């Protein structure tokens, strides 16, 4: 396999950037960059990195000799200063000696192919990176730690043992003696119930809960940008008493109650002849389609427009907010929240409502985060275990029982990645980021 490299940290200015390199004997190619390449494994060196005989940076280097590395191959990690020019020069240096840029998930794919991770563990790496709540992170870490794989492996073994015992019964029945082994029946029943309770400990994150996009809409001057800033806790969007201040989409991340949301401030909607503002309004309407939750912001003067916005939002989840309560005007009925972006009063209630909307219903006994693919295979396994047990109890052909057990076991082995088709691996690893 070729030697691959990737920037494992974001391609942005930062204190430190990390590069990973993997491939058999890749260390040999580092002699071009260092006056003396690192020799000792797993030791943090501080060395001058040269490209074209010029000093690029003084970097940290760690060498992992395969198979004791993430990918199972020889690996080198470089910790450089996170300047864009430094990043660019290191990439040029790597290319000059023939390193290939890694594709999405290629490091983890190699780790899987070299038996460093099972397939489901490799998938958990992505879940851990994408976890946006504390609970999701803990469940993904539990799945990645190997505990899920060993539970699955134990079930796979148990099913196999049971199948061997059932096959033994087939020979026995050949002698025309129908005799149901009660111990075997108990083991079978126990396996079905244990597997059922194991499945209940696995949590599947549906795609809807991955994105948490909250879009603020409303008439001009209602205080959308003020509320957006108040929620973020800093002045991100420009606020002014001039209607039509916001003309483009502005987004920012908000962390609240272990959840993170993307908030979008939009241009207020009104009839306008200004081309730029019109474009902003078009984007605001477009953004409603992409939203997971829409927050309509109104004040006393625009409250009567709320019906029009309700029709615009259609079936999307929608919270209607009445802003500027500090002005002391009479409150208009029919809103979900009454608040003042200026003083902050009532804003906590809005935050709670937003976070409640996205709360993932994680069952109390959930331990592992799993993929839809796993849930589908769990149900194949469970259905065949149950139908095998029914056949066994009804003394149907034991060959059919053995076949059910065989399919059950195969479905668990597919989760672990034992005998995986190439196209399945392609689907899984293409969702990864470069550098993982
Ligand atoms: N008294 C009071 N004034 C507010 C409040 N929220 C916003 N304002 C004022 O209302 C005006 C408009 O605020 P913005 O936040 O720019 O309103 P917007 O909805 O983003 O306006 P556009 O971007 O033009 O659509 C500004 O003068 C704000 O200071 C509030 O809670 N109380
Ligand atoms: Mg605005």
More confident of the two residues 335 and 167: 335
Residue to substitute in 221, 323, 338 for testing ligand 1 pocket (most ligand atoms within 8 angstroms of CB): 221
C-beta of 226 in contact with ligand 1 (< 6 A) = yes
C-beta of 223 in contact with ligand 1 (< 6 A) = yes
pTM of the model: 0.64
Q: Do residues 223 and 306 both lie within one domain?
A: yes
The CATH number of residue 243's host domain is 3.40.50.300
Q: Do residues 30 and 86 both lie within one domain?
A: yes
Number of Cβ within a 10 Å radius of residue 112: 25
C-beta of 246 in contact with ligand 1 (< 6 A) = yes
Mean pLDDT of 381-409: 93
Is residue 433, in this structure, part of any structural domain at all? no
| Burial of 178 from C-beta contacts in 10 A (0-12 / 13-18 / 19+) | exposed
Is residue 311, in this structure, part of any structural domain at all? yes
Closest CA to 10 of 23, 1, 19, 21: 19
Mean pLDDT of 158-177: 78
Is residue 338, in this structure, part of any structural domain at all? yes
List all residues 6 or more positions away from 174 whose beta carbon is below 8 Å from its beta carbon. Answer: none
Which of these three, 60, 81, 116, is where a domain ends? 116
Q: Do residues 10 and 101 both lie within one domain?
A: yes
Please tell me the least confidently modeled range out of 55-64, 114-123, 301-310, 355-364: 355-364
Is residue 336, in this structure, part of any structural domain at all? yes
- Provide the pLDDT confidence category of residue 363 given band limits of 50, 70 and 90: low
- Provide the pLDDT confidence category of residue 126 given band limits of 50, 70 and 90: confident
Q: Do residues 294 and 354 both lie within one domain?
A: yes
Is residue 240, in this structure, part of any structural domain at all? yes
Q: Whose CA is nearest to atom 32 of ligand 1?
A: 324
Q: Do residues 213 and 354 both lie within one domain?
A: yes
Q: What is the pLDDT of residue 207?
A: 44
- pLDDT per position as a tens digit, 136-156: 889 999 999 999 999 999 999
C-beta of 324 in contact with ligand 1 (< 6 A) = yes
Closest ligand 1 atom to 340 CA: 31
Flag whether pLDDT at 362 surpasses 80: no
Highest mean pLDDT among 27-41, 162-176, 229-243, 408-422 belongs to: 27-41
Q: Whose CA is nearest to atom 2 of ligand 1?
A: 324
Is residue 431, in this structure, part of any structural domain at all? no
What distance in angstroms lies between residue 436's CA and the mean position of ligand 2's atoms?
A: 39
Q: Do residues 24 and 149 both lie within one domain?
A: no
Flag whether pLDDT at 12 surpasses 90: no
- Provide the pLDDT confidence category of residue 221 given band limits of 50, 70 and 90: very high
- pLDDT per position as a tens digit, 261-291: 889 999 888 776 777 777 777 777 888 988 9
What distance in angstroms lies between residue 295's CA and the mean position of ligand 1's atoms?
A: 15
Mean pLDDT of all residues in the chain? 88
Q: Do residues 33 and 69 both lie within one domain?
A: yes
Q: Do residues 103 and 138 both lie within one domain?
A: no
The CATH number of residue 388's host domain is 1.20.120.430
Number of domains in the chain: 3
Left if phi > 0, otherwise alpha if psi is -120 to 50, otherwise beta: which for 403?
alpha
Domain boundaries, position 194: 122-205+366-416
Ligand nearest to the CA of 345: 1
C-beta of 247 in contact with ligand 1 (< 6 A) = no
Q: What is the pLDDT of residue 116?
A: 95
Q: What is the pLDDT of residue 274?
A: 74
- Catalogue the E-assigned strands of 8-138: 14-22, 45-51, 54-64, 75-82, 100-101
The CATH number of residue 106's host domain is 3.30.1360.120
Q: Do residues 165 and 243 both lie within one domain?
A: no
Q: Do residues 126 and 106 both lie within one domain?
A: no
C-beta of 243 in contact with ligand 1 (< 6 A) = yes
- pLDDT per position as a tens digit, 313-336: 988 999 999 999 999 888 899 999
Q: What is the pLDDT of residue 177?
A: 58
Which of these three, 358, 384, 403, is where a domain ends? 358
Q: Do residues 334 and 218 both lie within one domain?
A: yes
């Amino acid at each position: 396999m070729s030697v691959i490299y990737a920037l494992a940290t974001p391609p942005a200015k930062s204190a430190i950037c990390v590069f990973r390199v993997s491939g058999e004997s890749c260390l040999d190619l580092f002699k071009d960059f260092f006056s003396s390449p690192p020799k000792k494994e797993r030791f943090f060196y501080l060395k001058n990195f040269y490209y074209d005989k010029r000093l690029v940076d003084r970097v940290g280097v760690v060498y992992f000799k395969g198979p004791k590395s993430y990918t199972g191959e020889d690996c080198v990690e470089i910790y450089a200063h996170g300047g864009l020019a430094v990043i660019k020069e290191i990439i040029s240096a790597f290319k000059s000696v023939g390193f290939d840029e890694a594709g999405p998930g290629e490091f983890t794919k190699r780790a899987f192919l070299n038996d460093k991770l099972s397939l489901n563990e490799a998938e958990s790496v992505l879940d851990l990176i994408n976890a946006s709540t504390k609970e999701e992170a803990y469940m993904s870490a539990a799945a990645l730690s190997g505990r899920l794989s060993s539970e699955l492996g134990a079930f796979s073994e148990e099913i196999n043992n049971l199948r061997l015992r059932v096959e033994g019964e087939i020979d026995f029945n050949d002698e025309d003696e129908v005799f149901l082994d009660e111990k075997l029946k108990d083991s079978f029943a126990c396996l079905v119930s244990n597997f059922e309770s194991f499945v209940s400990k696995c949590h599947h994150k549906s795609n809807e809960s991955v994105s948490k996009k909250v879009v603020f809409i409303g008439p001009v001057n209602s205080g959308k940008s003020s509320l957006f800033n108040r929620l973020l806790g800093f002045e991100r969007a420009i606020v002014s008493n001039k209607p039509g201040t916001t003309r483009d989409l502005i987004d920012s991340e908000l962390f609240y109650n272990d959840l993170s949301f993307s908030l979008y401030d939009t241009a207020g909607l009104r009839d306008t002849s200004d081309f730029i503002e019109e474009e902003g309004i078009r984007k605001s309407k477009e953004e409603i389609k992409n939203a997971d939750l829409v927050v309509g912001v109104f004040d006393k003067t625009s409250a009567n427009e709320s019906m029009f916005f309700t029709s615009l939002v259609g079936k999307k989840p929608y919270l209607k907010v009445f802003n500027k309560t500090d002005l002391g005007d009479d409150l208009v009925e029919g809103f979900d929240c009454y608040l003042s972006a200026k003083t902050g009063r009532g804003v906590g209630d809005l935050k709670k409502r937003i976070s409640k909307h996205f709360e993932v219903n994680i069952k109390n006994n959930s331990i592992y985060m799993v993929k839809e693919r796993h849930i589908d295979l769990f149900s194949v396994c469970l259905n065949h275990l149950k139908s095998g047990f029914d056949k066994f109890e009804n003394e149907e052909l034991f060959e059919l029982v053995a076949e059910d057990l065989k399919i059950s076991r195969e479905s668990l082995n597919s989760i672990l990645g034992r005998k995986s088709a190439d196209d399945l691996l392609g689907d899984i690893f293409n969702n990864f980021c470069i550098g993982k």
